[in-house]
Chain A
Amino acid sequence: MKLTERFKEGKFVITCEVGPPKGIEVEKLIDELEPLRSKIDAFNVTDLQSSVLRAGSMATCRLLKDKDYEPIMQLTCRDRNRLGLQSDVLSAAVLGIENLLCLTGDHPQLGDHPDAMPVFDLDSVQLLSAVKGLMNGKDMAGNDLEGAPPQFAIGATVNPGADPLEPQIIKMEKKIAAGAEFFQTQAVYEVDKFANFCEKVKHLKVPVMAGIVLLKSPGMAKFMNANVAGVHVPDAIIDELAGAGKEGRVEKSIEISARLIKELKGSCRGIHIMALGWERHVPAILEMAGL
């Protein structure tokens, strides 16, 4: 089912990110999702996240479908030119995948193959436009597709914590004009800043899902503050996590995420959880958040 249908139903949509393994044991990853089955509307499957070689998003998405999970295939511009990207979009439709998330993608220098050629033949806006074109039966060269065109719900990303925010919002508007139907955001820890962002994009009338990244340690929070664009974990949260000690850390992290979700719920249409290996704790977070 397309994610856009869930929004139309008026549901508060919950998605969760899963990263394919560096290897071929995807089944194991999928088995571990069982406790989340009834709680999560769809699973984002990353496309070589952080430019680290892993199994592919498309195959994992299909295996998720086979087990009756709803996948969202993430598609980045890093590794394929417009021929490869368009072909993969068609292939995704062939495999019954109905949701796509189009991103620029990290630079290869950030990953485990820093000597790789960065492709970026298209950027995220151009990719969205290409997908929309295929949905209308035309490829980027203007050629007609044979038979029924693919149909997807197309998503994109936005960073509500970007500074300056103005060019971020302009790019978001371009993404919508190009075909984006829903947005998932970078991690949010500052509720006021997020509410301010939501106020500024109210006119866009496109569902925005707030990103929740589980904080595994105070060190991770500090690392994100220093290295992740537009993400700021306030000192109060870091202190709270540090105060819980090693033993109480998981409990505290669950509590912090649940509290954030409760506080953000009023200003967004859904949440997108990036658990980074802590998927098993997601049910507890959702329960505590009253979802």
Chain B
Amino acid sequence: MLFTKDKPLEEILESLGAESNIFLLACNGCAEVCETGGEKGLSTMKAAMEKAGKKVTGTDSVDFLCNKVLVATRLNREMDKIEQADSILVLTCGIGVQVVSKVVNKVVHPSANTISVGGLQGLWASDERCEACGDCALDYTGGICPITFCAKSLLNGACGGTHDGKCEVDSEKDCGWQLIYERLEKIGRLENLKKFHKARDHSKMFPSKDLRETSFYDIEK
């Protein structure tokens, strides 16, 4: 199972910034079990958003947000409500956020940090990879993960080795930061590139002692 943990509400609100119309999308898979997603996650987040003065244009949940085909088909039904929203707040793991970003042309924000990718997800992710860094930055990078897409996992933009949009380690591989740039341009968020990301807290990759002792993290406990 993928283990996710809610981001602090202040962090989510900072990332939403001036966006006032939000569509909430939750996963009923692993995130439902972790209570970051599912119906419980949705109702808690809806209340928190409304309390913060945001308008929730709609909510939906999908069994496995890591299943691109399922997500694309399902979201078609909600497209009008999604269109009314400035962005989508996605209540799931890093893979689910990347999937949503890929199938809908909208700004996405993760509501949770992914702590562990242990065990099986709902379905095999293709291009979407999550290293469970525990400090999801997908909201600033247009739903494309700089940790897994950039060969150096850089957080503040491309290195000097990007060449014709390709990576210096493999001319067949896209430069992650080139993809991020193109995506941010497409969704009108190039200013996101200006944010300074401080050095990663690598301790966030490791589950806390409390978590390790639960059956959420280890089913045999």
Mask: chain B, 172-189; 1 = CB below 8 Å from A; 0 = not: 000001000100000000
Q: Is the CB of A229 within 8 A of B168?
A: yes
Q: Which of A9-17, A120-128, A270-278 contacts B (4 or more CB under 8 A)?
A: A120-128
Which residue of the partner chain A has the closest CB to B157? A171
Q: Is the CB of B156 within 8 A of A171?
A: yes
Residues from chain B with a CB closer than 8 A to the CB of A103 are 160
Q: Is the CB of A129 within 8 A of B161?
A: no
Residues from chain A with a CB closer than 8 A to the CB of B160 are 103-104, 157, 159, 186, 229-230
Q: Is the CB of A123 within 8 A of B156?
A: yes
| Of the residues A104, A121, A129, contact of B159 by C-beta under 8 Å | A104
Which residue of the partner chain A has the closest CB to B162? A229
Residues from chain B with a CB closer than 8 A to the CB of A148 are none
Q: Is the CB of B161 within 8 A of A107?
A: yes
What count of chain A residues pass the 8 Å CB interface test? 39
- B51: interface (CB < 8 Å): no
Q: Is the CB of B168 within 8 A of A170?
A: no
A140 to B159: give the CA distance in the assembly, Å: 22
Q: Which residues of A contact B (CB under 8 A)?
A: 77, 82, 103-107, 109-110, 118, 120-126, 129-130, 140, 157, 159, 162-164, 166-168, 170-171, 173-174, 177-178, 186, 227-230
- B209: interface (CB < 8 Å): no
Secondary structure call for the B interface: loop
5 new A-B pairs (CB below 8 Å) besides A106-B161, A167-B158?
A: A120-B153, A125-B196, A126-B198, A174-B196, A229-B164
If the complex has contacts A107-B168, A170-B194, A227-B163, are A121 and B199 also in contact, measured as CB distance less than 8 A? Answer: yes
Residues from chain B with a CB closer than 8 A to the CB of A109 are 151, 169
Enumerate 29 A-B pairs (CB-CB under 8 Å) in ascending A order. Answer: A82-B199, A104-B152, A104-B160, A105-B159, A107-B151, A107-B152, A107-B161, A109-B151, A118-B152, A120-B153, A123-B155, A123-B157, A124-B159, A125-B157, A126-B199, A129-B196, A129-B198, A130-B199, A157-B160, A162-B162, A163-B164, A164-B181, A167-B181, A171-B193, A227-B163, A229-B160, A229-B161, A229-B162, A229-B168
Residues from chain B with a CB closer than 8 A to the CB of A122 are 199
**B189, chain A: closest CB distance, angstroms:** 12
- B13: interface (CB < 8 Å): no
Q: Is the CB of B169 within 8 A of A110?
A: yes
A120 to B169: give the CA distance in the assembly, Å: 14
**A38, chain B: closest CB distance, angstroms:** 31
Q: Is the CB of A229 within 8 A of B163?
A: yes
**B194, chain A: closest CB distance, angstroms:** 6
| Of the residues A77, A129, A170, A227, contact of B193 by C-beta under 8 Å | A170
Q: Is the CB of A107 within 8 A of B154?
A: no
Residues from chain B with a CB closer than 8 A to the CB of A106 are 161, 168
**A198, chain B: closest CB distance, angstroms:** 18
Q: Is the CB of A173 within 8 A of B194?
A: yes
A203 to B151: give the CA distance in the assembly, Å: 32
Which residue of the partner chain A has the closest CB to B200? A121
Which residue of the partner chain B has the closest CB to A229? B163
A167 to B193: give the CA distance in the assembly, Å: 7
A157 to B152: give the CA distance in the assembly, Å: 17
Residues from chain B with a CB closer than 8 A to the CB of A118 are 151-152
Q: Is the CB of B177 within 8 A of A167?
A: yes
**B127, chain A: closest CB distance, angstroms:** 21
Residue from A104, A105, A107, A167 having most chain B Cβ neighbours under 10 A: A167
A106 to B152: give the CA distance in the assembly, Å: 9
Which residue of the partner chain A has the closest CB to B190? A166
Q: Is the CB of A120 within 8 A of B161?
A: no
Q: Is the CB of B194 within 8 A of A174?
A: yes
Q: What 9 A-B pairs come out closest when comparing CB atoms?
A: A229-B163, A125-B156, A171-B157, A104-B159, A120-B152, A123-B154, A109-B169, A126-B199, A170-B193
A168 to B175: give the CA distance in the assembly, Å: 14
Residues from chain A with a CB closer than 8 A to the CB of B164 are 163, 229
